[in-house]
Amino acid sequence: MEESSSVELTDRRTLQRIMLAIDDSEATMRAAEYAKTMFAGRATIRVVTVAQNPRTLFPLGSTTQDFLAAARDEIVGDSRAALARIEAMFAGTQLEFGLIDLSVHRGNTADALLETASDWNADLIVMGMRHHHGLLRWVEGTVSEPVARRASCSLLLVPEDSRVATDAAAQRMVFAMDGSACSITALRTGLQLATPDSRLRAIFVVDRASNVMDGEAIRIMESANLEEGCTALERAARICAEQGRYMETALLKTHATRDDIPHTILRDVQDWKGDLLVLGTHGRRGFERWLVGSVAARTVRLADTPVLLVHDREAMPAKV
């Protein structure tokens, strides 16, 4: 208990250095609009875009140096135009800018963004995300997924098809708790985005669908999960009360079959009309990630509202 209290008292991660990662998509425009609403005038904002290397876009056998040079100029020009659009959107706001030319720096977009965020000591990366499913997801992939999986700072991901307005501050924030120190860190970090009028809700999901045991074993397991959930929600409410805020809480259960924690979280967000979901993520890697899975990753993949992902930096692997 002393260790948990220490985390609650000392982990007050601030969001003062915001890196807005952009491209020329509609998802970017929604993310930029949201970043302006949430951070303009209250944090340092650096806008970063990545110009692709034309050698990775065209077969080498059918290209010439002149063609590659012209393609690079066009790609860099498009990237500069994207930066100009964002600058116009943030008129009157002091911004920093960065253009990463992969023809010079090599690597891929996700690596470039992660390296830039690390070098700049970003507290938060804001970016749009496009939901892909089935074959399209495997063929095209997304940049937001590898960035979210590997970043050492928090992320604010804004879906292109967000059902909530991105030109207004969050007014109904949902915090998904799991009883860990990571979720407490996410709570404290997310509260920085709350306005005095924001309504706050903490939820804990008891996963009944994953139980493969029978009889008494199931009852014992569910009772333990319920107790853990009550403790986590009481702690969340207490932290808010210490800041002079009221937080409502809800202990939820998955359906007994054909259900999981991500779908239960998102049903609650939608039913409660939440407009920002806050999740802690433990940064699992390798076999553990495949075995346990990532509730945060699956929730983000399905979300139709902005999602604040707060990484547990203690669980991230050390940099080599």
Of the three residues 130, 157, 186, the one that is the final residue of a domain is 130
Q: CA-based diameter of the chain, in Å? A: 73
User: So what's the pLDDT on residue 135?
Assistant: 46
Kindly report the CATH number assigned to the domain that includes residue 213. Answer: 3.40.50.620
User: So what's the pLDDT on residue 271?
Assistant: 97
Q: Looking at the predicted structure, is the pLDDT value of residue 11 above 80? A: no
Answer yes or no: do 109 and 215 share one domain: no
In a domain? residue 305: yes
The closest alpha carbon to 100, from 121, 120, 76, belongs to: 76
Answer yes or no: do 201 and 277 share one domain: yes
Answer yes or no: do 179 and 282 share one domain: yes
More confident residue, 104 or 98: 98
pTM, to two decimals: 0.86
Answer yes or no: do 184 and 308 share one domain: yes
User: So what's the pLDDT on residue 107?
Assistant: 81
Answer yes or no: do 273 and 189 share one domain: yes
Tell me the pLDDT of the chain averaged across its residues.
84
Residue 61 structural domain: 17-130
Q: 128 — alpha (psi -120 to 50), left (phi > 0) or beta?
A: beta
Answer yes or no: do 123 and 63 share one domain: yes
In a domain? residue 4: no
In a domain? residue 212: yes
Alpha-carbon distance values, 69 to 19, 46, 75, 76 (Å): 29, 28, 10, 11
For the ranges 49-58, 214-223, 227-236, 237-246, the lowest mean pLDDT is seen at 214-223
More confident residue, 107 or 188: 188
In a domain? residue 141: no
Number of domains in the chain: 2
The Cα 135–Cα 143 span in angstroms is 16
